[in-house]
Amino acid sequence: MGLTRTLRPVDYLLIVFNAGFGLLWVSALGRYPDALWMVVAHAGAIWLAVLCGRLGPEASGFGRSAGDLYPIALIAIYWLEMGLVREAFHPSTFDAVIAAADRWPFGRHLQQIWMPAMPQVWFSELMFAAYWVYYPIVFVTPLVLVLRRRAAAGRVVFRTTVAYLACYASYAIFPVDGPSHTMERFVGPHTEGFFYQLVTSAIHAADSMGTAFPSSHVVGVVTMALLATRWFSRPMARLYLLGALGVAVSAVYTQGHFAIDSVAGIAYGVALYAFVSPMLERVLAAREVR
């Protein structure tokens, strides 16, 4: 199999994350039915991080690609876990706090008034299409970079992983269900649109309670847009920046998030990219060369 490589920063990061959440689930043993399975799952994820991290150049092309992409797969799985964390550890949420903060500047919630004010199907479809762009930006980009063996692949995967794990840690401490679960949604002709159906189907298939603040969708696309300014051509970087703006704005129009969720997502994304990720990369890279 060629297990010759030392662990990379992303492998160490995932080991620490899984150890922390594994211990969290240990504290729920005996009072939450699935706690034992979650402990086992996180132990398995630690083993996976060690195995994939040590795949050397002798590994097959498929093995190397899987070793490079496994953090992105785990990100999607952890998203589903957050709903279980909310259920097991938080009988109540901080929705009232975030709702009050969102209402404070203007006395109203933007996500409640925007769609009813502009319910035209063409505009609604534009907004839902902008929101859907999140999926190819965040999940297809790393896949293409890894398969093409681009030098940026490792950096993109690491910083994307940092962005999402930071969101998940925040959700475990400060869960917010968001207006899509706590407030009435506008019903109009937009519900017949293609992108409306596409987005709502995706959300219903993989929604997790307690994950509204900050918007991880916004954090993810902001991270990708900032990475694009560093590693991609200028025209491509502009497209990514436009896509990130579209997701941040449409998250509010589609009534899935408060405006403050998107604003916080932008702030999280910038702070994680500019400060947290470089610091973690330096610290964990020091372990890599020991």
Tokens of 282: 């330096």
Residue 173 lies in a domain: yes
Residue 1 lies in a domain: no
Residue 287 predicted with pLDDT over 70: no
Residue 4 lies in a domain: no
User: What are the start-end ranges of the H helices in the chain?
Assistant: 9-26, 35-53, 61-89, 95-103, 110-117, 121-132, 134-135, 141-147, 153-173, 179-182, 194-205, 216-231, 234-253, 259-271, 277-288
| Cβ proximity of 39 and 187 under 8 Å | no
Residue 90 predicted with pLDDT over 60: yes
d(CA 120, CA 112): 16
Residue 3 lies in a domain: no
Question: 163 versus 145: which is more confidently predicted?
Answer: 163
d(CA 277, CA 273): 5
Check residue 116 and give its pLDDT.
Answer: 95
d(CA 243, CA 195): 16
Euclidean distance between the first and the last CA atom of the chain, given in angstroms as a whole number: 23
Share of the chain above pLDDT 90, in %: 80
| pLDDT, averaged across the chain | 93
Residue 155 predicted with pLDDT over 70: yes
Full 3-state SS string of 161-216: HHHHHHHHHHHHHCCECCHHHHCCCCCCHHHHCHHHHHHHHHHHHCCCCCECCCCH
Average pLDDT over residues 128-143: 94
Question: 144 versus 39: which is more confidently predicted?
Answer: 39
Residue 198 lies in a domain: yes
Residue 38 lies in a domain: yes
Q: What is the pLDDT of residues 91-117, one digit of tens each?
A: 999 999 999 999 999 899 999 999 999
Decide: helix, strand or coil at residue 285. Answer: helix
The per-residue DSSP string of 63-82 comes to HHHHHHHHHHHHHHHHHHHH
Residue 32 predicted with pLDDT over 90: yes
pLDDT band at 85 (very low <50, low <70, confident <90, very high): very high
Tokens of 269: 């994304």
Residue 2 lies in a domain: no
> Which one-letter amino acid corresponds to residue 104?
W
Please tell me the total count of domains within the chain.
1
- The parent domain of residue 141 ranges over 9-288
> Which one-letter amino acid corresponds to residue 23?
L
Q: At 54, give phi and psi (nearest 5°).
A: -100, 5
Check residue 144 and give its pLDDT.
Answer: 86
- Report the range of poorest mean pLDDT among 2-11, 76-85, 156-165: 2-11
DSSP 8-state class, residue 55: B
pLDDT band at 64 (very low <50, low <70, confident <90, very high): confident
Average pLDDT over residues 52-65: 77
